[in-house]
């Protein structure tokens, strides 16, 4: 494919538009993805995204600092530009996922445009630039960074690196006068998005190999080093450390020295394999702590490295200079990964880490096409490569559709990862709480059990050392299993054996006393057997262990409300809502507590907001009715509860609330019908049977009230109303 001769500006723009439009057409379904995995913390629970002042405050600390409980080690990440990006994305779509996805696709489009420009600068033609940009945009390895909201910092950093590259090439072509200031500015922006942009310090000299003319000696590299030094000084200030947080690690893999080096071989070969043959895409590629000397995956990685070396030497001797630079670009872009593998977490071969490196493959592809003399052959190659890459990318996007899809597919791809198994268990357990579908609870129990088995030793005391099992994996697997048992006892009592959850939680707390999740479960289990003060006390320990745990604060507030300590309940639930303002369950319980503690105005304002944002949630209208009734706004209360029943006609609490409102309005016949329906729907509700019997008794139907009183006493034999009920039952029987 020879370089096209002086294409017109409109033609160039059309080729660029096509290079952007085709990948976006392939990836468009990412717009419909929900918040998944790290999005739930990084976006939904991130206080930095709630106000401009909070955003500015976040610049003075690590990237994930908001999610870390007191005393827990911080991460080594400082990414103020990424936080600002998410702040803007949250306002584009009103906090909905589509706004974040739209901006991610926009970032990807910007990167495609920059690759087009860079390839045009180096290859000299529009068609090779189109081919390079198209391959970059369609490459399956890019889906993770484009379809997953939390991974947007990779294309954001890539914008900085690619802008630095195109600006640098332009500076060189202008005669290298002065210093490449704009390139240094773009480089700094990339660093502020993600640390991987530091690869530019290696990429700049690699890029110089493709450029003719005198090679710059010091000025450009010194400029980039000064930019990096300024960035690093800002990091040191943010971390309050002369090392800029580099001593911190997001994972403690405890690998031996030999394994650290073989892991680097696996990583380099693994990425090269993904670049040239992106067949096995996987979000969770756990590190294997121990491998055999002639491990199959290590040998395959080594083979890819050898193949890359041979190709690089051959291209250097006989191929286009830009193709050679493209091949060098790939490992150069990965260079920051090899500095300290502990910083990468448990999955160092993550596809998003290769986002910038794919540029090298794209440049090599464009340069090779530019050297092909027959346009028909070059065009056919472009069509085939684009079709295969587009098909693979399109089929990969649904992986990010929702949490359950992500973890179910991940469990198929990584069956030996305890992290994936207990992650799947948590997703299924969360869905069970919403649907009460026993099959979901069974699935969660199986997932947690498998996670336990993967970390367990055999009777001979042996364990598969190639499986990565961290302390947190053991904790989460056991805590999740205990929660399954507890939920079974609470919601499916007829299918569970005894009270097994409490002793399991106690054992976990003995081994992990700082686990807020274990203490939360223990507190609920204690309260469930009737010891409400003991449960509250345990939940106080849970919030002390991790003041940033929403579930601990929520359940503490819930139990305090049930104990009649409504002012304390409102305070605890306020803490829970500050941690996760998007959690509707917390907002509803808080509105109840505010109303019960006399803060009716605050409760009404909160409920008005919830009725706007959650108009299809029956529980919002139910609580609105309760609060309105407490203010003696009975007509309004009746309207609210009728709306709740329109949304959910089998909501027993709504029928009970309607009965009580009708009773207050003096509509006794209608009230009795609603009381009867409430008792039918909630055969285990003391309140429904007590209130129904009380109304019948007050109406003179004392014998008709007897069955309801008897059932109420069965449900709460030690309740405070038992003596009153016995007296009324005796009076009814004497008639």
**Chain segment 64-107, per-residue pLDDT in tens:** 776 655 444 567 889 999 999 999 999 998 889 999 999 999 99
Residue 168 has pLDDT above 50, yes or no: yes
Q: Give a yes or no: residue 47 inside a domain.
A: yes
Kindly state whether residue 474 falls inside one of the protein's structural domains.
no
d(C-alpha 373, C-alpha 155), whole Å: 34
In whole angstroms, give the CA distance from residue 56 to residue 49: 10
The mean pLDDT value for 354-382 works out to 91
Cα→Cα distances 452→386, 413, 457, 482, 518, Å? 43, 18, 10, 12, 16
Q: Report the alpha-carbon distance of residue 322 to residue 157 in Å, rounded.
A: 23
Please choose, from the candidates 384, 425, 420, the residue with its C-alpha nearest in 3D space to the C-alpha of residue 399.
Answer: 420
Domain membership flag for residue 220: yes
Confidence of residue 708 (pLDDT cuts 50, 70, 90): confident
pLDDT value of position 675: 85
The verdict on residue 127 lying in a domain is yes
Quick one: pLDDT band at residue 212, thresholds 50, 70, 90? confident
Q: Which residues lie closer than 8 Å to 731 by C-beta, 6 or more apart?
A: 702
How far apart CA 99 and CA 87 sit, in angstroms, is 11
* 648 is a domain residue: no
Q: What is the DSSP string of 118-137?
A: HHHHHH-SHHHHHHHHHHHH
Structure tokens at 667: 């509509």
Lowest mean pLDDT among 192-196, 444-448, 641-645, 692-696: 692-696
User: Would you call 95 helix, strand, or coil by DSSP?
Assistant: coil
For residue 101, give Cα distances in angstroms to 33, 356, 402. 8, 19, 13
**CA atoms of 181 and 451, how far apart (whole Å):** 52
Asked if the structure places residue 30 within a domain, the reply is: yes
pLDDT computed for residue 70 by the predictor = 46
First-to-last alpha carbon distance for the chain, in angstroms, is 105
Q: 374-419 pLDDT, tens per residue?
A: 888 888 999 999 999 999 999 999 999 999 999 999 999 999 999 9
Instruction: Tell me the two tokens of residue 10.
Output: 């409109």
Residue 134 scores a pLDDT above 90: yes
Check residue 667 and give its pLDDT.
87
pLDDT tens-place string over residues 117-128: 999 999 888 999
Q: What is the DSSP letter of 479?
A: H
Beta carbons of 708 and 697 less than 8 angstroms apart: no
Alpha-carbon span 659 to 648, nearest angstrom: 16
CA atoms within a 13 Å half-sphere pointing along the CA-CB vector of 186: 19
pLDDT at 7: 66
The pLDDT of residue 194 is 95
Distances (CA, A) of 371 to 16, 132, 377: 21, 13, 11
What's the CA angle centered on 625, arms 623 and 629, to 5 degrees?
Answer: 120
Q: Fill in the DSSP letter of residue 250.
A: S
Signed CA dihedral, 482, 488, 490, 496: sign only: negative
pLDDT at 716: 73
Q: What is the pLDDT of residues 610-656, one digit of tens each?
A: 998 888 889 899 999 989 998 889 999 999 999 999 999 989 889 99
Structural domains counted in the chain: 1
How many whole angstroms separate alpha carbon 152 and alpha carbon 97?
A: 13
Q: What per-residue confidence (pLDDT) applies to 236?
A: 92
* Alpha carbons 322 and 363: distance in angstroms, whole number: 7
pTM (2 decimals)? 0.87
Tell me, yes or no, whether 48 lies in a domain. yes
* Structural domain harbouring 329: 11-398
Q: Is there a domain that residue 63 lies in?
A: yes
Q: Which helix (H) or strand (E) covers residue 611, if one does?
A: helix 600-613
Residue 3 confidence class, pLDDT cut points 50, 70, 90: very low
Residue pLDDT, tens place only, 252-279: 677 888 888 999 999 999 999 999 999 9
The answer on pLDDT for 307 being more than 60 is yes
CB-based contact 82:194 (threshold 8 Å): yes
- Res. 292: pLDDT tops 90: no
Q: What is the pLDDT of residues 578-609, one digit of tens each?
A: 988 888 889 999 998 998 888 988 999 999 99
Note the residue count of the chain: 735
CA distance 177 to 223: 13
Q: Helix axis angle, 501-511 relative to 516-528, nearest 10°?
A: 150
pLDDT tens, position by position, 650-668 = 898 899 999 989 988 988 8
Give the Cα separation of 340 and 338 in Å (integer): 6
Neighbours of 9 (CB within 10 A): 7
Measured from the Cβ of residue 55, the count of other Cβ atoms closer than 10 Å reads 19
- Is the predicted pLDDT of residue 285 greater than 60, yes or no? yes
For the chain, what is the radius of gyration of the CA atoms? Answer: 31
At residue 681, φ and ψ (nearest 5 deg) are -80, -25
Distance CA 275, CA 271 (A): 6
Distance CA 427, CA 267 (A): 30
| Res. 175 pLDDT band, cuts 50 70 90 | confident
Chain segment 331-355, per-residue pLDDT in tens: 999 999 998 887 778 899 999 999 9
Instruction: Give the Å distances, CA to CA, from 575 to 45, 220, 291, 645.
Output: 13, 51, 46, 31
Burial class of residue 279 in the structure, from the number of CB atoms within 10 Å of its CB (0-12 exposed, 13-18 middle, 19+ buried) = exposed
Q: Are 603 and 595 contacting, i.e. CB atoms less than 8 angstroms apart?
A: yes
Question: Mean pLDDT in the chain?
Answer: 89
522-529: long-range contacts at Cβ-Cβ below 8 A with a sequence spacing of 24 or more?
523/555, 523/556, 523/559, 524/486, 524/555, 524/559, 525/486, 525/499, 525/501, 526/502, 527/559, 527/562, 528/486, 528/489, 528/490, 528/499, 528/502, 529/499, 529/502
Burial 159-178 (b: 16+ CB within 10 A, else e): bbbbbbbbbbbebbeeebee
Q: Is the pLDDT of residue 251 over 70?
A: no
pLDDT at 450 over 90: yes
Least confident of 243-257, 343-357, 490-504: 243-257
Distance between CA atoms of 70 and 439, rounded to whole angstroms? 37
Q: What's the confidence (pLDDT) of residue 367?
A: 93
Residue 30: Cβ-neighbour burial (10 angstroms; 0-12, 13-18, 19+): buried
- The distance of Cα 626 from the centroid of its chain, to the nearest Å, equals 35
C-beta separation of 583 from 553 below 8 A:
no
What one-character-per-residue DSSP string does 417-434 give?
A: -HHHHHHHHHHHHHHHHH
């Amino acid at each position: 494919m020879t370089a096209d001769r002086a294409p017109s500006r409109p033609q160039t723009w059309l080729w660029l538009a096509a290079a952007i439009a085709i990948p976006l057409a392939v990836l468009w379904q990412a717009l419909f993805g929900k918040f998944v995995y790290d999005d739930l913390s990084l976006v939904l629970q991130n206080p930095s995204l709630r106000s401009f002042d909070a955003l500015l405050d976040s610049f003075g600390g690590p990237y994930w600092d908001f999610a870390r409980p007191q005393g827990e080690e911080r991460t080594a990440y400082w990414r103020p530009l990424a936080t600002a990006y998410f702040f803007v994305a949250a306002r584009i779509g009103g906090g909905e996922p589509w706004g974040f996805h739209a901006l991610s696709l926009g970032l990807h489009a910007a990167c495609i445009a920059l690759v087009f420009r860079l390839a045009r600068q180096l290859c000299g033609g529009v068609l090779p630039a189109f081919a390079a940009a198209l391959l970059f945009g369609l490459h399956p390895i890019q889906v993770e960074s484009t379809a997953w909201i939390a991974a947007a910092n990779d294309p954001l950093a890539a914008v900085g690196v690619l802008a630095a590259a195109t600006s640098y090439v332009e500076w060189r072509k202008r005669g290298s006068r002065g210093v490449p200031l704009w390139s240094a500015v773009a480089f700094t922006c990339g660093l502020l998005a993600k640390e991987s942009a530091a690869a530019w310090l290696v990429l700049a000299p690699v890029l110089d190999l493709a450029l003719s003319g005198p090679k710059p000696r010091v000025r450009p590299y010194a400029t980039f080093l000064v930019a990096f030094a300024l960035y690093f000084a800002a990091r040191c200030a943010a971390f309050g450390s002369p090392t800029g947080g580099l001593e911190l690690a997001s994972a403690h893999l405890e690998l031996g020295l030999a394994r650290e080096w073989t892991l680097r071989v696996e990583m380099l070969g693994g990425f090269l394999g993904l670049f040239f043959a992106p067949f096995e895409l996987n979000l969770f590629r756990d590190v294997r702590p121990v491998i055999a000397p002639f491990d199959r995956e290590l040998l395959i990685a080594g083979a890819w490295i050898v193949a890359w070396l041979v190709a690089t030497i051959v291209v250097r001797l006989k191929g286009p200079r830009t193709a050679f630079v493209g091949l060098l670009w790939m490992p150069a872009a990965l260079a920051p990964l090899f500095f300290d593998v502990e910083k990468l977490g448990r999955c160092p071969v993550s596809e998003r880490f290769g986002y910038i490196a794919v540029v090298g493959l794209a440049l090599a592809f464009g340069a090779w096409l530019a050297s092909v003399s027959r346009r028909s052959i070059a065009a056919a190659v472009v069509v085939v490569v684009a079709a295969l890459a587009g098909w693979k990318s399109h089929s990969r996007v649904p992986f990010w559709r929702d949490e359950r899809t992500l973890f179910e597919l991940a469990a198929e791809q990584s069956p030996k990862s305890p992290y994936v198994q207990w992650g799947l268990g948590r997703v299924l357990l969360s869905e069970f709480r919403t649907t009460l579908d026993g099959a979901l609870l069974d699935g969660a129990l199986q997932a947690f059990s498998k996670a336990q088995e993967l970390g367990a030793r055999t009777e001979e005391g042996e364990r598969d050392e190639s499986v990565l099992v961290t302390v947190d994996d053991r904790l989460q697997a056991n805590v999740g299993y205990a929660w399954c048992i507890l939920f079974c006892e609470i919601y499916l009592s007829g299918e569970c054996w005894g009270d097994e959850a409490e002793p399991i939680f106690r054992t976990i707390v003995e081994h992990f006393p700082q686990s807020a999740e274990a203490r939360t479960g223990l507190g609920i289990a204690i309260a469930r057997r009737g010891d409400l003060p003991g449960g509250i006390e345990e939940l106080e320990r849970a919030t002390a262990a991790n003041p940033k745990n929403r579930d601990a604060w929520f359940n503490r507030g819930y139990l305090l409300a049930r104990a009649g300590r409504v002012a304390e309940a409102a305070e605890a639930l306020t803490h829970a809502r500050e941690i996760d303002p998007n959690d509707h369950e917390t907002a509803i319980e808080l509105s109840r507590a505010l109303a019960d503690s006399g803060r009716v105005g605050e409760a009404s304002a909160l409920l008005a907001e919830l009725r706007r944002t959650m108009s299809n949630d029956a529980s919002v209208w139910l609580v609105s009715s309760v609060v309105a009734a407490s203010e003696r706004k009975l007509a309004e209360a009746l309207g609210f509860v009728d709306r709740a029943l329109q949304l959910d006609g089998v909501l027993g609490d709504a029928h009970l609330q309607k009965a009580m409102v009708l009773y207050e309005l003096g509509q006794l016949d209608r009230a009795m019908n609603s009381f009867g329906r409430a008792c039918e729907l909630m055969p285990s509700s003391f309140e429904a049977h007590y209130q129904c019997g009380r109304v019948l008794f007050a109406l003179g139907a004392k014998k008709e009230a007897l069955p309801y009183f008897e059932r109420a006493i069965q449900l709460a034999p030690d309740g405070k109303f038992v003596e009153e009920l016995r007296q009324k039952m005796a009076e009814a029987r004497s008639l």
